[in-house]
Amino acid sequence: MALGLSVIFGVVRVVNFAHGEMMTVAMYAATILFAALGLDPFLCMLPAAAAFFAFGYALQAMLVNPFITRPEHSQFMLLVAVAIILSNALLMVFGPDARSVQVDYQLDTFEIGKLLVDKARLYGAAAAIAAASVLFLFFRKTRTGKAIRACADNHLGARIVGLNVKRLYSLTFGLGAACVAVAGCALVLLVDVTPSLGPYYTLLAFVIVIVGGLGSMGGALLGGVLIGVSEALAGLFIDPSAKSMFSFALLILVLLFRPQGLLGSKA
């Protein structure tokens, strides 16, 4: 999930404030599909990813692209507005109660040595790594991927060379959205979904991305692991509900001392 944000921000340099909300929508989509068709969320991932790709593409093309030249905080506000609209639309349609997906293997665990690992979590992690690998290959090997990276490095230069920057941005946003869809499907097995989940996950994604390094995919993964581990540890030593405080403190520290993150490069 954080991967998607890193991709979006790193390339389009637009802070997608609606990231968390988009994931919440994905989670709801998974619940509907499960309820209606009995589809295992993991199987939902591919169609969800495709649908979200289209949605993200459209969002970028229609709303954000005209904005690239506007000052930063305009773009930010734009996505804040989208976030508000999404989360409240969800509230209106689904109501405030939590929903969840119940699958057979949800409570099963694997035993690896002395550790008990939830099957659901393991599958989720596998999915994340798979998605990350696909993205990585895409950006390194394909022509479009390289084109997108060129845009990120030098917007003006890319245009001069003839790349259709707007279309590439839309593509990137779409990819980011697809990542989010995958994440949402995986997460729905672990967390009950309510309409107000958005802000928490958006912030979490930012923490991860900034700690790991904006624009660096490896950084996003590393950041994700780091935050996950530190939150778990913090939960052991401090009151569990306060563990997010630790993440935010970390965010503040990183913003101050190493804004490019652990693996990022200076912008």
Distances (CA, A) of 215 to 22, 24, 76, 210: 20, 23, 18, 9
Binding mask 14-33 for other proteins (x = CB under 8 A): -x------------------
The residue from 206, 212, 217, 226 that contacts other proteins (CB under 8 A) is 206
- For Cα atoms 39, 92, 88, give the angle at the middle one, nearest 5 degrees: 100
The residue from 61, 63, 68, 122 that contacts other proteins (CB under 8 A) is 63
CA atoms in the 13 A half-sphere facing the CB of 3: 27
> Closest separation between CB of residue 91 and other proteins, Å?
3
> Closest separation between CB of residue 86 and other proteins, Å?
8
The residue from 251, 261, 263, 264 that contacts other proteins (CB under 8 A) is 251
Distances (CA, A) of 212 to 15, 16, 43, 178, 195: 16, 17, 29, 21, 28
The residue from 117, 229, 245, 265 that contacts other proteins (CB under 8 A) is 245
> Closest separation between CB of residue 206 and other proteins, Å?
6
Residues 64 to 123 in contact with other proteins, rule: CB under 8 A: 66, 70, 72-74, 76-78, 80-85, 87-92, 95-96
Instruction: Give just the sign of the alpha carbon dihedral 248, 15, 218, 260.
Output: negative
- Compute the distance between CA of residue 30 and CA of residue 43 in angstroms, rounded to an integer: 10
CB 164 within 8 A of CB 151: no
Q: How many residues bind other proteins (CB under 8 A)?
A: 43
> Closest separation between CB of residue 174 and other proteins, Å?
20
Is residue 175 near other proteins by the rule CB under 8 A?
A: no
Encoded amino acid at 10, one letter = G
Binding window for other proteins (CB under 8 A); candidates: 31-39, 40-48, 174-182, 253-261: 253-261
> Closest separation between CB of residue 215 and other proteins, Å?
14
> Closest separation between CB of residue 37 and other proteins, Å?
27
Residues in touch with other proteins (CB under 8 A)? 15, 63, 66, 70, 72-74, 76-78, 80-85, 87-92, 95-96, 195, 199, 203, 206-207, 210, 239, 241-242, 244-245, 248-249, 251-252, 255-257, 259
